[in-house]
Amino acid sequence: MNNLRLQRVRHFMVEARIDHLLLSSPDAIYYLLDVSFNPGERMLVLSITQSETKLIISALFPIQRDLGVEVIHFNDSQNPIALLAGDIRDGITVGIDKNWPSHFLLQLMSLKKEVHYMEGSLCIDHARLCKDDEEIKRMREASKINDQVISEIIEIIKTEGKKGNLTERALQKKVVEINEKLGVHEMSFTPTICFGANGAQPHHDTDDTILTENQAIVIDIGGRANGYCSDMTRSLYFGTPSEKYKMVYELVLKANLAAIEAVKPGVPLSEIDAAARRVISDAGYGEYFTHRTGHGIGIMVHEFPDVSDQSKSICQEGMIFSIEPGIYLLDAFGVRIEDLVCVTSSGCEVLNAYPKALISIM
């Protein structure tokens, strides 16, 4: 597994004319070596050439098993950048991890001047663009757990909502507790719970707003299970929905389904964005769909590709991304319906199974 992934990275290094790649992002190293490090301020680099792979890491992080690559430990009295500089040949192009803290790069540049430096993360981002079987399996499992979480959360709204003291924050806490009960100890992102007009802000910070009758609800949640992220949104109504809410809900659902229908290998991702946007624009609500249709997801909650009108990517088998159209009516309510999809040879597999028909809780 690791070797195939490393081979993909090396392929993209050749394409990008990068001779030596220095990766530092923990998620990139997790992808290639299936091991998580949190090095804090200390340098951590996976150094990749066409012939060698070396992990350069502080001796404070003992390596417990064979990672299939050479491990070079340094202690606090050694300068790891000098170690690195000594290993880089003159005259080559060195690819740098996009997130490497600048002080490491500036020090390397002063110790090793005779090379060309460029951003190198595209090699790993491209390698991760299409998920392999093991990754798809983990993504399925993570979304299955997320389905269970949302189902329990909606049950809680049914039983607790009428008591008149259910706050967004209390429900947010429940999301974390249910995940923990299901063995998920890390959220993909801070769970977003919006009551009423709060849902009209796509990035509302969950607060102490209390659920009251005749309010729309937006729930956007995800957890990281076995290293891979889930992410889904369901919108529902507490009380009797107005005709307008029902109409907007059906519109967003139609956009969600149209985009899912458009997914298959060979289709530009901008076309998938357009498929959702067209439904909403044709009904006159285009200006209220204020964000892209979706984003890639995997080890990180936001990865390549980008599902937007700016996207240059073409749909390929194994890509996993979100489909999450929304309509946001300021001071009134918001509706967003989000699923993750995995591109198959002929279309896509929707990773979320929780129903999408309008739920109104009386």
Decide: is 183 part of the binding site for a copy of itself (CB under 8 A): no
Distance of CA 220 to the CA centre of its chain: 13
Handedness of CA 285, 291, 295, 301 (dihedral sign): negative
Closest distance of CB 266 from a copy of itself, Å: 27
Smallest distance from the beta carbon of 178 to a copy of itself, in angstroms?
Answer: 16
Cα 208–Cα 209–Cα 213 angle in degrees, nearest 5: 145
Each residue 291-320 as x (binds a copy of itself by CB under 8 A) or -, in order, gives -----------x------------------
Contacting residue, 52, 101, 246, 261, with a copy of itself by CB under 8 A? 101
Residue 70 phi, psi (nearest 5): -70, 135
- Minimum CB distance to a copy of itself smaller for 10 or for 292: 292
**Closest CB 41 distance from a copy of itself, rounded Å:** 8
Question: Is residue 321 within a helix (H) or strand (E), and if so which, with residue range?
Answer: strand 320-323
Does 30 contact a copy of itself by CB under 8 A? no
Contact flags string 189-228 toward a copy of itself, x per CB under 8 A: ----------------------------------------
- Is residue 100 close enough to count as binding a copy of itself by CB under 8 A? yes
User: CA 176, 129, 14 angle in degrees (round to 5)?
Assistant: 140
CB–CB of 98/23 below 8 Å? Answer: no
Give, as one character, the DSSP assignment of residue 209.
P
Q: Compute the distance between CA of residue 31 and CA of residue 227 in angstroms, rounded to an integer.
A: 9
What's the CA gap between 63 and 57, in Å, rounded?
9
Question: Does 177 sit near a copy of itself (CB under 8 A)?
Answer: no
- Judged by CB under 8 A, the stretch of 46-54, 102-110, 159-167, 223-231 that binds a copy of itself is 102-110
Residue from the set 47, 58, 121, 311 that interacts with a copy of itself by CB under 8 A: 121
226 φψ region: left (φ > 0), alpha (ψ -120 to 50), beta (else): left
Query: According to the binding rule CB under 8 A, does residue 96 interact with a copy of itself?
Result: yes
When asked if residue 85 is in the footprint of a copy of itself (CB under 8 A), the reply is: no
Binding flag, residue 345, a copy of itself (CB under 8 A): no
Q: Two tokens at 254?
A: 């139609």
- CB neighbour class for 40 (10 Å; exposed up to 12, middle 13-18, buried from 19): exposed
- CB nearer to a copy of itself: give 121 or 233: 121
Beta strand 93-96 with 116-119: parallel, antiparallel or unpaired?
Answer: parallel
Dihedral over alpha carbons 204, 313, 30, 77 (to 10 degrees): -90
The interface with a copy of itself within residues 34-53 (CB under 8 A) comprises: 41
User: With CB under 8 A as the contact rule, which of the stretches 116-124, 223-231, 239-247, 330-338 interacts with a copy of itself?
Assistant: 116-124
Interface with a copy of itself includes 187 (CB under 8 A)? no
Residue 118 binds a copy of itself (CB under 8 A)? yes
Interface positions with a copy of itself (CB under 8 A): 41, 96-107, 117-119, 121, 302
